[in-house]
Amino acid sequence: MRKLLIVGSVAFDAIETPFGKTDKILGGAAPYIALSASSFNIPSAVVSVVGDDFPKDYLEMLKKKDIDTSAIEIVQGGKTFFWSGKYHNDLNSRDTLDTQLNVLADFSPVVPDNYKDAEIVVLGNLNPLVQLSVLEQMVSKPKLAILDTMNFWMEDAFLADLKRVIAKVDVITINDEEARQLSGEYSLVKAARVISKMGPKYVVIKKGEHGALLFHEEEIFFAPALPLEEVFDPTGAGDTFAGGFAGYLAKTGNVSFESMKNAIIHASNLASFCVEKFGTERMENLSREEIQKRLKQFKQLTQFEIELS
């Protein structure tokens, strides 16, 4: 069992899907990452920032999951980061309707003393300089630093900063289009190789409903997404995936490639729940039995018996 440090946005989201729409609900990368990781019952802490408009109930809910929220700074007189988006009918693409950075614009993360030696660190999608600042505050090099990012930071204005943080992490999780953009390669096998040369020994390429690929040197492992009757709201699925990946590794303390195979299966499994309801609702109410039952489905979905000669 290792300590897991999470940095990421905490937000209000307003989401519209073909199935309905929400008012402002709990969003941001960090709650999804933390809730997903908390299913492994590991010690974890979130570094983030909110305004004084942020409901105490949300913090209480996280605390009840044994997530340390003391490093979520509450800016008096400030407003919480707000994102609003509308998904298209296929749920594979979305339009951002509104983004108000608010207190996130001046976010200067402070890692709590008791997490400066965390063995596993997840850098959720944020300005790369904020991600770098977290790594620089660690008193010892983490056993595993995991970076999640997105295409926004691959624009010219941020790319150099992004490459600096990429050079310092062990694992990057990124979606397929972003991997292509970052590497300039269409083939994901080639893209992973190019990205790995930028620093991370492990490259995880997320393909949404088409699963996820884990690359390490010349080895590749693949976890499918569980085929679902209905995807209700894809928001947070990638963060839930990253949190499940990190949570499993923190639980076992084993960061080998073999262990990471299990980690991305657990990650896909947890992400399959996230999309079943709006926002974090499903992840807040998820039992050990439900998780185990669906892991069994993953086994049935993928495991076969071919004898090799």
- The residues binding its own copies (CB under 8 A) are 89-90, 186-190, 207, 210-211, 213, 219-222, 224, 227-231, 258, 261-262, 265-266, 292, 295-296, 298-306, 308-309
In the complex, the smallest distance separating the C-beta of residue 48 from its own copies, rounded to whole angstroms, is 31
Closest CB 232 distance from its own copies, rounded Å: 11
The residue (of 156 and 305) whose beta carbon lies closer to its own copies is 305
Which two structure tokens, joined as six digits, stand for 238? 């990638």
- Spatial separation of the C-alpha atoms in residues 12 and 21, rounded to whole Å: 14
Pick the closer one to its own copies by CB: 90 or 136.
90
Least Å distance between CB 303 and its own copies? 6
Residue 161, C-beta contacts closer than 8 angstroms, at least 6 positions apart: 127, 128, 129, 132, 153
Provide, rounded to whole angstroms, the least separation between the CB of residue 288 and its own copies: 9
Shortest Å, Cβ 158 to its own copies = 26
| Nearest-approach distance from CB 246 to its own copies, in angstroms | 17
Nearest to 42 by CA among 293, 264, 287, 243: 243
Nearer to its own copies, 46 or 91 (CB): 91
Q: Cβ closer to its own copies: 3 or 294? A: 294
Convert 6-27 to b/e letters by CB count within 10 Å (16 or more is b): bbbbbbbbbbbbeeeebebbbb
> Which CB, 156 or 307, lies closer to its own copies?
307
Pick between residue 100 and residue 259 the one whose CB is nearest to its own copies: 259
